[in-house]
């Protein structure tokens, strides 16, 4: 699948609201740097992290920065909402990079594929389960404010203190 095809896959461009960034924010060390490889400058990940004093490098396939080929910038964490259609490849690369990461994902089906199941089984992963469901927007805002049909969580490595953590989302945190 070419870069252009996967970047515009209908299930890949779900924009994360600010309130879904805060649960991961409180698990990060101060004065560190974050690479947001699936984000543009208007991403809530970028905006919230910068507002709290983190050094943020961001990139997106639509701006010519392909996560699979772009050189990894110096960073302490990799955090984003990856393209769902490429989730297996994304996690494979993240495990190879050995940099602490947190990826906000649609949890349904994440362990269904045998190869992906085995990859996760061999790694020490952490799950940060979110409640209620995250209400994403699409790039054009078609789903703005509507409930999505899936549950989200952060799948992490090197971020959480426990392998399974839970967090209530404060949907009033829009800034």
Domain ranges in the chain are 3-168
How far apart (Å, rounded) are the C-alpha atoms in residues 96 and 86? 16
Answer for the pair 72, 97: CB distance below 8 angstroms, yes or no: yes
SS (H, E, C) 8-20: CCCCCCEECCHHH
Find the mean pLDDT for residues 57-74.
Answer: 92
Lowest-pLDDT range, 3-12, 31-40, 86-95, 126-135?
3-12
Lowest-pLDDT range, 33-37, 46-50, 81-85, 134-138?
134-138
| Domain 3-168 class in CATH | alpha beta
- pLDDT grade for 109, boundaries at 50, 70 and 90: low
The pLDDT tens digits for 8-22 are 455 556 678 999 999
Reply yes or no on whether the pLDDT at 95 is more than 50: yes
How far apart (Å, rounded) are the C-alpha atoms in residues 100 and 15? 22
Give the β-pairing of 137-138 and 101-106: unpaired
DSSP 162: S
Q: What is the pLDDT of residue 166?
A: 94
Enter the pTM of the model. 0.86
How far apart (Å, rounded) are the C-alpha atoms in residues 155 and 126? 6
More confident site: 110 or 10? 110
The pLDDT tens digits for 113-142 are 788 788 878 888 999 999 888 887 765 555
Mean pLDDT for the chain overall: 84
How far apart (Å, rounded) are the C-alpha atoms in residues 173 and 175? 6
């Amino acid at each position: 699948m070419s870069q252009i095809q996967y970047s515009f896959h209908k299930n890949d461009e779900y924009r994360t609201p600010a309130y879904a960034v805060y649960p991961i924010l409180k698990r990060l060390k101060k004065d560190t740097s974050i690479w947001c490889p699936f984000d543009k400058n208007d991403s809530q990940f970028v905006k919230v992290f910068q507002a709290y004093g983190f050094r943020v490098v961001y990139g997106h396939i639509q701006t010519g920065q392909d996560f699979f080929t772009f050189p990894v910038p110096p960073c302490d964490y990799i955090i984003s909402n990856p393209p769902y259609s490429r989730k297996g490849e994304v996690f494979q690369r993240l495990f190879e990079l050995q940099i602490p990461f947190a990826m906000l994902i649609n949890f349904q089906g994440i362990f269904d594929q045998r190869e992906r199941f085995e990859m996760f089984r061999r790694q020490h992963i952490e799950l940060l389960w979110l409640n209620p469901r995250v209400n994403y927007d699409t790039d054009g805002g078609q789903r703005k404010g509507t409930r999505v049909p899936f549950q989200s969580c952060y799948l992490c490595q090197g971020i959480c203190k426990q392998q399974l953590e839970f967090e209530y989302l404060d949907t009033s945190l829009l800034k």
